[in-house]
Structure 1
Amino acid sequence: MKTMTTAVLASLALAGCSRETAAPAGEATATTVQANAQFAKTLPLADAQGFEDAQRGLVARPTGKILAADGSVITDFDAFHFVAGDAPPTVNPSLWRHAKLNAQAGLFKVVDGVYQLRGFDLGNMTLIEGRTGWIVVDALTCRETAAAALAFARRQLGDKPVTALLFSHSHIDHFGGALGVLTPEQVRGGVPVVASAGFMEEATSENVLVGTAMGRRSYYQFGKNLERSARGMVDTGLGKGVGYGSFGVLAPTDLITQPTEERVLDGVRFVFHNVPGAEAPAEMTFSVPALKLYGGAENLAQTMHNLLPVRGAKVRDALRWAGYMQQALDQLGDAEVYVGQHNWPIWGHERIAEFITKHRDVYKYTHDQTVRLINAGLTPNEIADQIRLPASLQGYFGTRGYYGDLRHNVKAVYQFYLGAYDGNPAHLDPLPPVEMARRYVALAGGADKAVAAAQQAFDQGDYRWAVELLNHVVFADAGNRAARELLARSYDQLGYAAEAATWRNSYLTAAAELRGGAPKQGTSRAAFLDMLVQTPIERFLEAMAAGLDGPAAEGKDFKINLVLTDTKESYALWIENAVLHFRRAEPAADANATMTLTKTFFVRMMAGTAGAKDMLTSDEIKVTGSRIDLLRFLGLMDKAPGTFPIVTR
């Protein structure tokens, strides 16, 4: 399926309307302006209900900035003040409306005894008043934003202690700020930390194995390096921006393992529902019957969600997700207020039931119609261009594609069942991208002719085809400045028309990198140290194995002992057939070398904050056997910096 704006752009391109060669880089072309204007006519953008909900109960608004220890800005509360008034020509009008709703940052009273902090980070921190203090639902992404949000609430509501911490699910924007809410000593002193079964394993594993690539791709999804402006990043769909600070986690002291379990926390009765394997591998929703409150975690948000994020992840199960939505309807009881861990609340039982019903049917319709067309023999791209939601779902703001996108979700359903291969043997063994690009450019008669054809497509507003042509030219010759700039301008227009914030951010980040190059620095694993020390050592050894340079390891037969003094663990690591293996075992007598160190120092080595020099000189590590062999062994491990190019090669 095409979104409405993409469909409008396509129809305008087919009609051959407008000539855009004079439009300078960064401005919306006449085709894009016209497409966005036509899009605005298809939705009741003046509907005030969302704005009433997003502003309801405001207690106070924050100002200024949240800073990291090095003085860098994590959150700037003034950065999105430009998101006001009518949509500019460079932003899809539906996304602009959503961005204005997400821009309502502050402390809000939801009902008596329940408050939310929104706009401090990508997610929300929900405070539920207990008998003696605050029960905190979710700790945001990083220590800095969590501490700032909690301090802001205490200034407005009084300096009450945190008497329980709940993690709704295992994604870092909901637990990474745990150490800004509670200390390990407070937890050891009896403050409960509640999460669902599997939380710790999932929370600590997602970013270890493919975290480098996922982190690099997240810059596209969240528009991390884009300027905050009407020509840059305006929203993420789930909130205004991610808090890139210091990440940590606290191990739960109380796990919800059954489908439904009750707890009394600081005098408040909670009913928890364990809902794994939809939006997150470990997730739980909850209700507080005395307050007629239902908390939907992130299975519900004021947007269609992702079945497969742009940044990458394991594909999510649309059918299970829809099933959980039916369960939520059955569990809703007499709830009169819904709170989510993104976006804004909903009041009124009928409105909440409608909200859940629409989400249920979006995921079920996406699943069922994709499967129907799979069985009719259509490929992922064909299905994505064909499926349209029914009018009853298209017209509902709460499930529009601001974060997820129907076309991307269709491809995720296909991948969930059949994989990425579409069944056509022509796609079994395609040429690598650069080689394919060179041959296509040669077939077109050279780069100049390909760029001329792309310019013609751009002039006609056919930006998807322009991107297809120019992508080949740039992959064939990354130094072709004319092709890079025209490709960047094409991405500009696709971004300006995109309703999904994730697609807009991806297009505009691509344009920025074509003009300025890939980032010089990737996401530093040093920021994750507080979280990584909680990660089982096996995850790091799996990451080591996945980082082994196979060709360089061919013919090598190193065996290394790893002894961790603080956790009393011992592992044997060995290379066989250019594969790194490990098992828990006592130190082998025939090993080339033995490393004896603490887990914390080993994690620092894996995170890149301790290198070979530290290994040779530090008092925190003891090496017996051949240091030379140990260095050769460690030298076979790739240390990817996470700055690889994406739109060039």
Structure 2
Amino acid sequence: MGADFADRTDFDNAERGFVARLEPGQILGEGGRVVYDADAYTSATAGECPGTVNPSFWRQSQLTAIQGLFEVTDGIYQIRGIELSNMSIVEGDTGVIIIDPAVSAEVAKAGLELYRSQRGDRPVTGVIFTHSHVDHFGGVLGVVDADTDVPVIAPEGFLEHAVSENVYAGTAMMRRSVYHTGAALEVSPIGTLGVGLGPGTSLGTIGLIAPTLDITHTGQEETVDGIRIVFQITPNTEAPAEMNFLFPDKRALCMAENTTHTLHNLYTLRGAQVRDARAWSRYIAEAIDLFAADSDVLFASHHWPTWGTEAITTFLTQQRDLYGYLHDQTLRMINEGYVGSEIAEMIQVPPALDAAWNTHGYYGSVSHDVKAIYQRYIGWYDGNPAHLWQHPPQAAAERYVDVIGGVDATVAAAKKYADAGDLRFAAELGSHAVFADPDHQGARGLLADVFTKLGYGSECGTWRNNYLVGAAELLAPPKKTAWSPGGMAAALTITQLFDSIAIRINGPRAWDAKASIRWEFTDTGETYRMELSNGVLVHHLTDRKDPADLAITLTKPQLVALLGGSTDDITFDGDPTALQTLMSFVDSPSPNFSIVTP
């Protein structure tokens, strides 16, 4: 059946309440560097759909390119289209509450300035983080100072998950995000047009402020600057720590990122923990029960609002059923003996859901969401012993190419399948050829061409970006990106700071090394013992003062400074080489590792 291209409701809603555009649409950072260019997305999505873009994704990209300040309802505004995510602004008695201040400080600052140019210079009197993903907190230092005394509200567990996702695996995730967001591609009909969830991600300064007020339970009510807010905790939905909330006096419902105008990711291609489709569906059902009848407008941290109680209920019901259907049908087929790759080919969205635009896979996809559900319940192993101990990519490629008859023969076979329209198998063969002989220009060119065609045909924005970035990196060295996450360190706990060291210890080099350090923090009154033993750096809180090679007395801010190379006003007692020994085993991983080549 499919959705109706003649239906202009989404365009009407995306433009409703328009107040002012950001003019010009370029946001600049330090030294005049362009942090984000909204004008590029406006220009790139003008006119009729070209042959290099899936028509459904073209429509979605036109919607996400609409930018500016919009009134959601009396006293609630959104900045949309100048970042991957929305920044929402709620007017209180004396100032404004900021909901989800973008990815970077430069964008958040520009958005707040746009609002103030139309509504007056109101101070920020509160900040709300709806969940633990960087595009919903990273720009906080653009709206408040690091030492702000305004309440910073987040769901319980926010800080732990914000750190584990963006610091522990941060280097790998940053590299994969280049593919996920298409950050290194030009904004054009032959490049990136966004990710379906929104336009591109800004490349500015990322920061983090620890929450001062945790939302711990559904039904918790808080008043911020005279505004009543009723919260719903939704852990393990779109993020491990997330929440929806209702402004009852305004009949306005914020659904965070739990319901947007797309099928979302259960597994994000940039890399993250698999989400729980069952919990996601049930929390949407709970939101319908708690809030739908009391809401005249629903807004979220991406995309455009939905107005009207009946339309809100329909939208929430479609989203509820979408995640519930994928969850239940995947498990049904798992128990019939099918593996994830098979189920992903078999499942079809019910026609009534497919007829709604908001269920289409612009950011997630049925294919990789089904595989995510399979992974969550069954894991990576599909039960076939032939897949239990397979060769890694380069070793497998060399053997496949040998069986096929060499790289030239493999490239020829890949071209045959590509010419026949089987781009998926052509990509697999072409990848084997490249991994077997990375310098073979015919293999690289063929695979780049196949990736490009796959990208142009993708309805899913992240698929398009992954294919097109892969094609670009086969033809030229990877471009470096300019994210700056340094502003997050001050918000980390002591344990998280120590963890960030431990996960970078080069275990094999440190097998035979021994070192022990006692850390005494004068500001928290805590003592930690740290030991390097058998290539692992262990640390724990202790009340004991057992002998150690080195005792270090400092504050938590001094620990942050020490990790940056400063020893000012820190007391060292014992063998100073103990710290030098430990730090000598710390790797500095490159964020530019290869992906489409060995």
TM-score, normalisation: structure 1: 0.88
- Aligned partner of 1:245 in structure 2 is 204
Equivalent position amino acid for 2:527 in 1: S
User: C-alpha separation between the residues in 2 aligned to 1:632 and 1:557?
Assistant: 9
Deviations 1:36-78 (A, max 9, x none): xxxxx95422321111011111111112221122322111121
User: C-alpha separation between the residues in 1 aligned to 2:432 and 2:300?
Assistant: 43
Matched, 1:221 2:180: yes
Equivalent position amino acid for 1:335 in 2: S
SS in 1 for 2:396: helix
- Aligned partner of 1:289 in structure 2 is 248
- 1:620 to 1:456, Cα distance in 2 relative to 1, 3 A: farther
- Aligned partner of 2:58 in structure 1 is 96
SS in 2 for 1:279: coil
Q: CA deviation at 1:559?
A: 2.0
Give the 5 Å matches for 1:77-476: 77-80=38-41, 81-187=43-149, 191-331=150-290, 332-476=292-436
- Aligned partner of 2:511 in structure 1 is 554
Deviations 1:345-372 (A, max 9, x none): 1111111111101111110110011001
Deviations 1:300-342 (A, max 9, x none): 1111111110011111110000001111111212311111110
- Aligned partner of 2:476 in structure 1 is 516
User: C-alpha separation between the residues in 2 aligned to 1:232 and 1:311?
Assistant: 18
Q: CA deviation at 1:547?
A: 1.8
- Aligned partner of 1:591 in structure 2 is 548
Q: CA deviation at 1:625?
A: 3.8
SS in 2 for 1:203: helix
TM-score, normalisation: structure 2: 0.95
SS in 1 for 2:261: coil
User: C-alpha separation between the residues in 2 aligned to 1:583 and 1:384?
Assistant: 44
- 1:134 to 1:619, Cα distance in 2 relative to 1, 3 A: closer
Equivalent position amino acid for 2:220 in 1: E
Deviations 1:406-458 (A, max 9, x none): 11000110111111111111111111211111011000000010001111112
Identity of aligned residues (%): 44
Aligned length: 595
User: C-alpha separation between the residues in 2 aligned to 1:341 and 1:172?
Assistant: 12
Q: Which runs of 5+ in 2 are unaligned?
A: none
Equivalent position amino acid for 1:367 in 2: H
SS in 2 for 1:489: helix
SS in 2 for 1:280: coil
Equivalent position amino acid for 1:70 in 2: G
Is the Cα–Cα contact under 8 Å of residues 516 and 578 in structure 2 kept in the other structure? no
Q: CA deviation at 1:102?
A: 0.5
Deviations 1:508-562 (A, max 9, x none): 111111111234x4666xx333222111121232232222212111222222333
- 1:546 to 1:192, Cα distance in 2 relative to 1, 3 A: closer
Is the Cα–Cα contact under 8 Å of residues 115 and 127 in structure 1 kept in the other structure? yes
- 1:628 to 1:264, Cα distance in 2 relative to 1, 3 A: closer
User: C-alpha separation between the residues in 1 aligned to 2:385 and 2:562?
Assistant: 44
- 1:594 to 1:473, Cα distance in 2 relative to 1, 3 A: farther
SS in 2 for 1:528: strand
Q: CA deviation at 1:588?
A: 6.0
Equivalent position amino acid for 1:176 in 2: G
- Aligned partner of 2:27 in structure 1 is 66
Is the Cα–Cα contact under 8 Å of residues 208 and 540 in structure 1 kept in the other structure? no
User: C-alpha separation between the residues in 1 aligned to 2:99 and 2:243?
Assistant: 11
Is the Cα–Cα contact under 8 Å of residues 138 and 168 in structure 1 kept in the other structure? yes
Is the Cα–Cα contact under 8 Å of residues 107 and 117 in structure 1 kept in the other structure? yes
SS in 2 for 1:70: helix
Is the Cα–Cα contact under 8 Å of residues 307 and 409 in structure 1 kept in the other structure? yes
- Aligned partner of 2:461 in structure 1 is 501
Q: CA deviation at 1:629?
A: 4.4
User: C-alpha separation between the residues in 2 aligned to 1:357 and 1:545?
Assistant: 45
Equivalent position amino acid for 1:87 in 2: C
SS in 2 for 1:529: strand
User: C-alpha separation between the residues in 2 aligned to 1:596 and 1:474?
Assistant: 53
SS in 2 for 1:79: helix
Equivalent position amino acid for 1:235 in 2: G
- Aligned partner of 1:575 in structure 2 is 532
Match of 2:496 among 534, 539, 552: 539
After superposition, the CA RMSD in angstroms is 1.9
User: C-alpha separation between the residues in 2 aligned to 1:250 and 1:575?
Assistant: 31
Q: Greater shift after overlay, 58-67 or 259-268? A: 259-268
User: C-alpha separation between the residues in 1 aligned to 2:314 and 2:143?
Assistant: 34
SS in 1 for 2:205: coil
- 1:127 to 1:210, Cα distance in 2 relative to 1, 3 A: same
User: C-alpha separation between the residues in 1 aligned to 2:535 and 2:325?
Assistant: 46
User: C-alpha separation between the residues in 1 aligned to 2:558 and 2:461?
Assistant: 40
